[in-house]
Amino acid sequence: MIQEAKKRTNRWCAIAGGLVIGISTTLSSCLPHQDIIVPCVKGPLAVFPTVYKSGGDSWLLCSHIRVHAGMEVLDVGTGTGIQALTALQQGAKRVVATDINPMAVANVRYNAARRGWTEKVDVRLVPAGDAGAYAVVHPDERFDLIVSNPPFFDGNAVNVAERAGIDAGHELVSSLFAGLRQHLAPRGKLLMVFWGPAGYEMLRELAAKWGLQLQIIDRGPLIDTSMAKWVYNEQHTSAETSEGISWMKRVAGDEIGKKGLQVIVIEAVPDPSLMKHMREGSS
C-alpha cells in the first residue's frame, strides 16, 4: 500500500514536470484536484496532488498580509499559491512565486488563471538540487514584501510531497534569512509563519547572524504534548514513509513531545542600528 502511494506520487510529479513548461490552463484543469474554500482568498482554491493543502498556518499567515497597489511580492514555497493570491487580491503589481514541487508550480498557475491573473504572477520551479530560498531569484530583484510558509522541520524527505514539511538542515529557512537584505526593497519586510517554541529559538539565532530584527505578531493555539501525540497517532497515518512511520513522527515527534507545537507569525526586517554602523564604516 505504501509503495503504491509512492508510485502514484511519482506519476503525478512526472505529469507536473511536463506541464510546468508552457503549461495551459486547460491541461491543468484535467488534473485531479480538490477545490477548497479558504478565508483569505475569494472563490475556490484548487489543491493538486502532492501539494500542501493550505490549513490554519496558511490562513493565519495570510490574515497578516498587507499589500498596497504597485507593490512587488516574493512568495517562497508557494504551494497552492494562497499567499500569492492574497497579495494579488489586495492589489500587488506583481508576484514571483517559487516552489520545488513541479505540481505546485502547475497548481499556482491554474489558480491564478482562474482569476485572470496569469500576467501578474511569475511562477518559477526551484531545481531539485538547490533548495535555497532565492535559487530562482535574480541577484538584482528586490521586493516590498517577501512572504513564506516554509517547511518547519529538519529531516530527510523521501518524496516531493514530504518537502512541504521537511527542510533538510533547515536549508530553505537559513538561506531565506541570509539573502533577505539583498532582496528586500527599502522599507520592505519578511512575513513568515513557523513553529514554536523550539523553532523560534533557531530563528533568533539566524536573525542575530544576519543582522535582522524579529517580531512575533501572532500566535496560533498551543498544542500541548498530549494533543501533539494524539495528532501524530491519529491524524497522520496516511503519510506513511517506507520506514513505516509518518514523517511527522520521524522528524518532529521528540521535539514536539517535549515542548508542544504552536504556529507563530513573524516579521523580519534588517536591523536599522546595524545598517547605520555599516554606512558609517563605509564612509
Q: Please report the domains of the chain, with CATH numbers, ordered by start residue.
A: 2-222+261-282 (3.40.50.150)
pLDDT at residue 253, as a whole number:
56
pLDDT at residue 161, as a whole number:
83
Question: Could you tell me which of 194, 112, 200, 111 has the C-alpha nearest to residue 147?
Answer: 194
* Residues contacting residue 171 through CB under 8 Å, at least 6 positions apart: 131, 132
Look at residue 144 and tell me whether its pLDDT is greater than 60. Answer: yes
Q: What is the DSSP letter of 231?
A: I
Peptide bond into 44 cis (omega under 30): no
Look at residue 65 and tell me whether its pLDDT is greater than 60. Answer: yes
CB 177 within 8 A of CB 254: no
pLDDT tens-digit readout, 29-48: 556 788 999 999 999 999 99
Measured distance CA(25)–CA(36) in Å, rounded: 18
Can you tell me the mean pLDDT for 245-258? Answer: 56
Instruction: Tell which wins on pLDDT, 45 or 229.
Output: 45
Residue 278 confidence class, pLDDT cut points 50, 70, 90: very low
Q: What is the DSSP letter of 246?
A: B
Backbone conformation region of residue 214, classed left if phi is above 0, alpha if psi is from -120 to 50, else beta:
beta
Measured distance CA(190)–CA(186) in Å, rounded: 12
Residue 249 confidence class, pLDDT cut points 50, 70, 90: low
Which of 160-164, 168-172, 236-240 shows the lowest mean pLDDT across its residues?
236-240
CA distances (Å), origin 20, targets 26, 83, 129, 194: 13, 20, 17, 28
Kindly state the cell numbers that stand for 82: 494562497
